[in-house]
Amino acid sequence: MDSDIDNDFDEHETGRNPLRDRMKQLESENAALKAKAEAAAQAERELAFVKAGVDPSSPMAKYFMKAYDGELTADAIKEAAIEAQLIGTAKPAATADAAAWDRTNQAASGNTAGEPPVDYVAKIAGAESPAELEKWLAEARKAQTSS
């Protein structure tokens, strides 16, 4: 019993409460964990924008990233970024040009493993019916627009 009195006396004499000290320690740990969780959430958000093709170092993208409140999926962000004109879509003309350059490079290197070009003049001249003539004319027009 004498020890209980001594412990109570020591606590009152020093003015320190071990329970209160532990609560302060837990509160500081909680604040540190909250800060880490916020940093992780911010990093996850930024990663979603990068996956969508948004450059986070762009000044306009910073405003976009701050104001965006939609789903944090790459597709949803990409769609919103295209609407905001932060990123563009692939132009079909560029792919057609790339295909033309590939054919030119293959021809220049002697690699003609592809199909030989169709001689539409001979096909049209040799057409035996108006339907066949229309078919070859349509294919020639299609080939002309795609190259």
pTM given for the model: 0.45
What is the per-residue pLDDT for 25?
95
What is the per-residue pLDDT for 23?
95
In the block, residue with structure tokens 């959430």: 41
pLDDT band at 124 (very low <50, low <70, confident <90, very high): confident
pLDDT surpasses 70 at 48: yes
Write out the two tokens for 105: 């490079």
What is the per-residue pLDDT for 112?
56
Residue range 39-54: average pLDDT? 89
What is the per-residue pLDDT for 4?
54
What is the per-residue pLDDT for 8?
53
